[in-house]
Amino acid sequence: MYKNTGSEGIKESNLIFKTQKSSRTTKGIIVGYDPGLTVGIAILNLNGELISLDSFKEIRRSEIISHIIGYGNTVLVATDVYPAPKTVRKIATILNSKIWSPYKNMSVESKIEIVDSFTAMGNSLNVPQNAHERDSLAAAVKTYKDHLNKFRQIEKRAEQLSMTQAMIDEVKIRVINGKSISNSLREVSQENIDNGYIGNLNHKTRGSSKSCHDKDVLKLSTKDPETPKVELSPEELTISRLKNKLSSQKRYINELREKNQELEAEVKFQKTEVSKFQSKMDKLRNEYSRKILEKREFASKISMIKRLQNKYSQERSMRLELEKQLDPNFGLETIGEDAVELKIITSFTREGIRESSLLMKISKGDVVLLENSEGGGSNTAAILCEIGVKAVITRDKISDPAENVFINCMIPVIPEDSIGIERVAQGSYVESEDLDGQIKKWMEKTRKQQTTEDKNKLISLVDEYRAQRRRELDS
């Protein structure tokens, strides 16, 4: 069901339509259409006369079509926006008519001006009662004005051919559908002659088809165009126009108030929605922050677990290494049978030698390793000579007096970095072959030095003896 906000016009127009359906030719109409929940429909005939102005709420499309075709053959469907809405295009397709829309959306001010100008030219019984009727009427009137020049040309030439109003409507329809004025006049005249509708018309008949557009005005009527119209004086027209304009302005103010109330309600609703979305955003933000904290905490715990695992692996490796070192037999399998154990002297002093001798049981023929030769001299070297060690391996350079003592005792002094020492468990070992090679090298080097020194001493003695003999001879 739908609500008709202007039902009187519809009832009267339906009576007209019933009469028209029995006529030979259906009159052409221009339909102004304002779509939406409430539909506005304005219908003009091709003489620019308003024959219906209504608005309907929650109306079905079939009811819209039924309402429109009751007034005639739709030639143009007019809209006040560009491009034409989808609903308007569908209505035009069903009515098999063209769509006429402005090159840009019509402003509210321009629509009010068009409607006020139109209603000021006749009675004000059919003044638009709401924005939907106003917009549809403005679209229909604007479309009619866009075609007015062609319509005037048609009427002027049709008057010369003594055409009836129905024939003039048919010519206008054909011109709107794309045919030329000349062809349309010729075709309509010929069709009516063939059908016997045109005979010898007298001057009176021709005079009765006078154009309704002698003045540049648009007629307003809710009845058949042939019904006599009331002539108004200029003052009455001015008063009527001003009253219509005042009424229109009041309606516009009421519309603005209603629109303002709607906008305030919309603002309130949007604020509520914004508040809801804000609450939702806060909740999501808190949830997001909580998840981030959980992820960070999780990542921190994973990192801690990895550190603990690495530390555990390191300590486990260290423990295994210590266990191996504590094992007295650890590493011995890697030492050859001819390996020589080194007796370690931590400090090259009398006390250090005594402690190491007790701990390591240093005896004749042992090879000792001096970890620190600092403080050692000829006396400490003489102790090792008395023990009768086989060789001395030094980690750093020993003093010259100590080295001279070892040379005199023919005890090889071998730098640690020149011989391979293997530390196994709690002991240090060298391969006997490697040790013998270093000892042999030291012996050869020392003998050469001693030979050179002996030779130099001999030469020095000979030179000294010769010098003494010369002094004796000279005296």
Euclidean distance between CA atoms 342 and 333, whole angstroms = 17
Query: What is the pLDDT at residue 45?
Result: 92
Query: What is the pLDDT at residue 204?
Result: 36
Q: Are 76 and 82 in contact (CB under 8 A)?
A: no
Q: Are 345 and 353 in contact (CB under 8 A)?
A: yes
Query: What is the pLDDT at residue 119?
Result: 83
Q: What angle do CA 470, 474, 475 make, to 5 degrees?
A: 120
Which residue has tokens 């403080």?
Answer: 375
What residues contact 88, with CB distance under 8 A and at least 6 apart?
Answer: 33, 35, 77, 79, 99, 101
Q: Are 371 and 421 in contact (CB under 8 A)?
A: no
Give me 58's structure tokens: 């929650």
Query: Could you tell me how many residues make up the chain?
Result: 475
Q: What is the pLDDT along the chain (475 residues), one digit of tens a residue?
A: 333 333 333 333 333 333 333 333 468 999 999 998 899 999 999 988 999 999 998 889 999 999 999 999 999 999 999 999 999 999 999 999 999 999 899 999 889 989 988 887 764 456 888 999 999 999 999 999 999 999 999 988 888 888 888 888 889 999 998 889 899 898 888 887 777 655 444 333 434 433 333 333 344 443 344 444 456 677 777 787 787 778 767 777 877 787 788 788 888 888 988 988 988 999 998 989 888 988 898 999 999 999 999 999 999 988 888 877 666 555 555 566 678 888 888 888 888 888 888 888 888 888 888 888 887 888 888 888 988 888 999 888 888 888 888 888 888 988 888 888 887 766 788 888 888 888 888 888 888 888 888 788 888 888 888 888 888 887 6
Total Cβ atoms within 10 A of residue 396: 12
Q: Are 430 and 342 in contact (CB under 8 A)?
A: yes
Give me 283's structure tokens: 């909740």
Give me 70's structure tokens: 């009751």
Q: Is residue 39 classed as helix, strand or coil in its secondary structure?
A: strand
- CA nearest neighbour of 123 among 255, 249, 223: 223
Query: What is the pLDDT at residue 203?
Result: 38
What residues contact 421, with CB distance under 8 A and at least 6 apart?
Answer: 342, 369, 393, 428, 429, 430
Q: What is the pTM of this model?
A: 0.42
Query: What is the pLDDT at residue 347?
Result: 85
CA distances from 112 to 16, 126, 129, 217, 428 (A): 29, 15, 12, 17, 115
Stretch (H or E) spanning 355: helix 350-360
Total Cβ atoms within 10 A of residue 295: 10
